[in-house]
Chains A and B, each alone.
Chain A
């Protein structure tokens, strides 16, 4: 199934711990290539935790894992159609536009992506 969503790169404590261990280590690579999707979006797309999905922005695409986004139980979090992934080489690959609108800052937290998944094993390996 394919759908267009907003990808918002972010920071997590787990990513902060992993980058201290080393950016070339598996923990950092895993954390920065796992996308968090709201449970109801996962259900609609037929996704389960650990499924491989493809994210496409313009001519670039990456294959990542997905997991449900933790939402606060204290409040009603209404955001759907927005996915989150820790900053790193994977989110950089999807930042296809270096335009900063004269500020020095790309639209780093506003990446429109096409999400496709779950991928079959051979597709996700390839």
Chain B
């Protein structure tokens, strides 16, 4: 037998797999997996971000499953150390969860309750203001399936899906043919409102350039027109958008059959924040006097919608929740992670599938680096590097099953491609919760 002949690769094809990179959660992936190499060699139907997501999450077996102070330890030792840190803290915070399954998110809420801890997801620095806004004025909502089949007007406001959610337009909202949209793209009008032109502008029929920080004023101007009022010239001065352009935009919005307003961080991370989100939702409500109009935030992480959903059903609130009185309280600004860290209140942190040290405000990062931190992540990150206890985890969706919520609140099951030698978030959280319970009983 010729030993130089390579053995047949152990290939597996996984159909209808789910990509968990962004909030589109596309569930039509066809993955070709090299089981010997433990890596995905082809991801059919994936966008540029999805291809990178699948290609770059092979297993690096040289990494330790857990480290304390940068030194390799057993999983049990790390779980014990993490439990001690959290039980001994007076104000522990738990943060992240948007790149984890809803099953793990549910266990995380249990851990927060047990510790009387603060729990918050990446929503608080993402679409948290959207949650605050819609709680006040209601949400004219929809699903992406409905948008695909009915929407003849698609507005992208303060978001750039062509870069951040590449298949949102091509798979769900703009290009596909639908039940009442027989000609696909030709039957839809796409409007892009932003402070700059982007790759999304290239697919739009209309581009409206608004001055930075004046989205609220433009939304209010549209509300005035939709409600039958007239604009004076101050709106043009404030927004930088000529009055006739605002009037044309209002007219287009009112005359469609089914419109959808997608929006992003351009509204929630700028002056006005939740007021911007409220104004957008109120505009959609006003438009429903003329036609059918709905709103959807373009959500970033694969299961950030799940984090909001799970925390809402478990505690009554979507983010920024504190258990220190023995029952859940929600107060953005008080129980949101950036604020707690900036005020220097937390004395321990458990960061699950998130990287706050790479994207929080500087004062928050400085405090986070001072306190004992536990991190869960499949890859090394600035946060895992600064953690006292760092767990290497399996990648959700690629290695572990479970459930994630698409940006339109639809739960999607995961079909993992191959097994990882590393535990999932849930595999660590369950014994961690058990150990916390034991330590608390002994106190």
Interchain CB contact (< 8 A) of B362 among A22, A95, A101, A109? A95
Would you call A23 and B379 a contact (CB within 8 A)?
yes
Would you call A16 and B197 a contact (CB within 8 A)?
no
Q: List 6 A-B contacts (CB under 8 A).
A: A23-B379, A23-B380, A69-B196, A98-B362, A104-B332, A105-B273
CB-CB contacts below 8 Å: A78-109 with B:
78-79, 82, 84, 87-89, 91-109
Would you call B197 and A88 a contact (CB within 8 A)?
no
Band of interface residues on A: 35 or more
- Please list the 7 inter-chain residue pairs (A to B) with the smallest Cβ-Cβ separation, ordered nearest first: A104-B336, A98-B342, A102-B333, A72-B197, A104-B124, A98-B363, A95-B361
CA distance in complex: A22, B57 (Å): 10
Question: Knowing A88-B359, A103-B273, A106-B125 touch, does A13 contact B338 (C-beta < 8 A)?
Answer: no
CA distance in complex: A16, B46 (Å): 14
CB-CB contacts below 8 Å: A1-16 with B:
6, 8, 10-13, 16
CA distance in complex: A103, B129 (Å): 7
Would you call A108 and B355 a contact (CB within 8 A)?
no
Would you call A104 and B52 a contact (CB within 8 A)?
no
CA distance in complex: A13, B199 (Å): 10
Question: Knowing A17-B52, A72-B197 touch, does A108 contact B163 (C-beta < 8 A)?
Answer: no
Would you call A93 and B197 a contact (CB within 8 A)?
no
- Of B264-272, B401-409, B418-426, the one contacting chain A is B264-272
- Of B26-34, B136-144, B149-157, B206-214, the one contacting chain A is B206-214
Question: How far apart are A34's CB and chain B's nearest CB, in angstroms?
Answer: 15
Q: Point out residues on B near A: beta carbons under 8 Å.
A: 21-22, 48-49, 52-53, 55-57, 120, 124-125, 128-129, 132, 160, 163-164, 166, 195-199, 201-202, 204, 207, 209, 212-213, 240, 265-266, 268-271, 273-274, 300, 319-320, 332-334, 336-339, 341-342, 355, 357-365, 379-382, 385
Question: How far apart are A126's CB and chain B's nearest CB, in angstroms?
Answer: 21
- A75 near B: Cβ within 8 Å? yes
Quick one: closest A residue to B132, CB to CB? A103
Question: Knowing A13-B49, A92-B360 touch, does A22 contact B209 (C-beta < 8 A)?
Answer: no
Would you call A8 and B163 a contact (CB within 8 A)?
no
List the B side residues contacting A60 at CB < 8 Å. Answer: 362
CA distance in complex: A64, B199 (Å): 24
Question: How far apart are B206's CB and chain A's nearest CB, in angstroms?
Answer: 9
Would you call A74 and B379 a contact (CB within 8 A)?
no
- A30 near B: Cβ within 8 Å? no
Question: How far apart are B433's CB and chain A's nearest CB, in angstroms?
Answer: 26
- A48 near B: Cβ within 8 Å? no
Q: Total contacts A to B, CB within 8 angstroms?
A: 174
Question: How far apart are A65's CB and chain B's nearest CB, in angstroms?
Answer: 19
Interchain CB contact (< 8 A) of B270 among A79, A95, A100, A109? A109
CA distance in complex: A79, B120 (Å): 35
Interchain CB contact (< 8 A) of A104 among B204, B319, B382? B319
List the B side residues contacting A101 at CB < 8 Å. Answer: 273, 333
CA distance in complex: A76, B92 (Å): 50
Quick one: closest A residue to B51, CB to CB? A17
CA distance in complex: A94, B382 (Å): 17
CA distance in complex: A77, B265 (Å): 20
Question: How far apart are B247's CB and chain A's nearest CB, in angstroms?
Answer: 19
Interchain CB contact (< 8 A) of B207 among A6, A17, A75, A84? A75
Question: How far apart are A26's CB and chain B's nearest CB, in angstroms?
Answer: 14
CA distance in complex: A88, B170 (Å): 28
Question: How far apart are B62's CB and chain A's nearest CB, in angstroms?
Answer: 14
Question: Knowing A13-B166, A105-B125, A107-B270 touch, does A89 contact B358 (C-beta < 8 A)?
Answer: yes
CA distance in complex: A112, B361 (Å): 14
Would you call B265 and A108 a contact (CB within 8 A)?
yes
Would you call B52 and A16 a contact (CB within 8 A)?
yes
Question: Knowing A10-B160, A60-B362 touch, does A104 contact B337 (C-beta < 8 A)?
Answer: yes
Quick one: closest A residue to B356, CB to CB? A92
Would you call A110 and B338 a contact (CB within 8 A)?
no
Quick one: closest A residue to B208, CB to CB? A75
CA distance in complex: A71, B198 (Å): 7
- A121 near B: Cβ within 8 Å? no
Question: How far apart are B317's CB and chain A's nearest CB, in angstroms?
Answer: 12
Quick one: closest A residue to B380, CB to CB? A24
Question: Knowing A95-B362, A103-B128, A104-B332 touch, does A79 contact B338 (C-beta < 8 A)?
Answer: no
CA distance in complex: A46, B378 (Å): 43
- A21 near B: Cβ within 8 Å? yes
Would you call A78 and B209 a contact (CB within 8 A)?
yes
* Centre residue among B125, B197, B204, B212 by max chain A CB count within 10 A: B197
Question: Knowing A98-B364, A101-B333 touch, does A79 contact B209 (C-beta < 8 A)?
Answer: yes
Would you call A96 and B269 a contact (CB within 8 A)?
no
List the B side residues contacting A72 at CB < 8 Å. Answer: 197-199, 201-202, 207
Would you call B363 and A96 a contact (CB within 8 A)?
yes
List the B side residues contacting A108 at CB < 8 Å. Answer: 125, 265, 269, 361
List the B side residues contacting A24 at CB < 8 Å. Answer: 380-382, 385
Question: Knowing A97-B361, A109-B270 touch, does A103 contact B332 (C-beta < 8 A)?
Answer: yes
List the A side residues contacting B21 at CB < 8 Å. Answer: 16, 20
CA distance in complex: A12, B101 (Å): 25
